[in-house]
């Protein structure tokens, strides 16, 4: 199989010769082999594992996204991804990187909520004047 992992702003990874792939969905983990039927699955944040003859098992920490298998092509589209060979090191990296981004996203959402609230208050007062 040919695996391509897409992020919103770039191609994260392209690998040919993938012999198996394991991904996590909200309903549980599932595996893909080269002759499996085509399909689409929503991915949950977690670890995606793929294996090639040259590299062996490789781990990808991925955020929520979508996996599409069509023939020998497997396309994974996620918001964030980190590659690693050691699960312990990958876990530490994920905690550090993803949690920092989540804190930034929460701060951004709080600012946007304040801006929207202020806009609505001004708009309502403008209509009553």
Q: Do the domain assignments include residue 114?
A: no
Q: Do the domain assignments include residue 119?
A: no
Helix H or strand E segment including 100: helix 87-128
User: Residue 70: beta bridge partners?
Assistant: 73
Q: Do the domain assignments include residue 69?
A: yes
What is the biggest distance separating any 2 CA atoms in the chain, rounded to whole angstroms?
72
> Looking at the 3D structure of the chain, how many domains does it have?
1
The CATH number of residue 74's host domain is 2.60.15.10
pLDDT in tens, 19-60: 999 999 999 999 999 988 999 999 988 889 999 999 999 999
pTM score: 0.72
Beta strand spans in the chain (E): 2-6, 11-16, 18-25, 28-32, 39-43, 46-52, 56-62, 65-70, 73-78, 81-84
User: Which pLDDT band holds residue 101 (cuts at 50, 70, 90)?
Assistant: low
User: Which structural domain, as residue segments, surrounds residue 12?
Assistant: 2-85
| Average per-residue pLDDT for the chain | 86
Residues above pLDDT 90, as percent of the chain: 47
Q: Do the domain assignments include residue 45?
A: yes
């Amino acid at each position: 199989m040919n695996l391509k992992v897409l992020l919103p702003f770039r191609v994260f990874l392209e690998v040919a010769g993938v012999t198996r792939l394991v991904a996590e969905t909200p309903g549980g983990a599932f595996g893909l082999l080269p002759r499996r039927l085509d399909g689409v699955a929503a991915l949950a944040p977690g670890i995606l594992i793929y294996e090639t003859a040259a590299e062996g098992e490789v781990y990808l920490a991925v955020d929520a996204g979508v996996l599409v298998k069509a023939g020998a092509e497997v396309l994974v589209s996620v918001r964030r991804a980190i590659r690693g060979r050691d699960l312990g090191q990958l876990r530490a990296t994920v905690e550090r990187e993803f949690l920092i981004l989540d804190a930034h996203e929460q701060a951004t959402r709080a600012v946007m909520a304040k801006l929207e609230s202020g806009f609505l208050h001004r708009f309502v007062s403008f209509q009553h004047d």
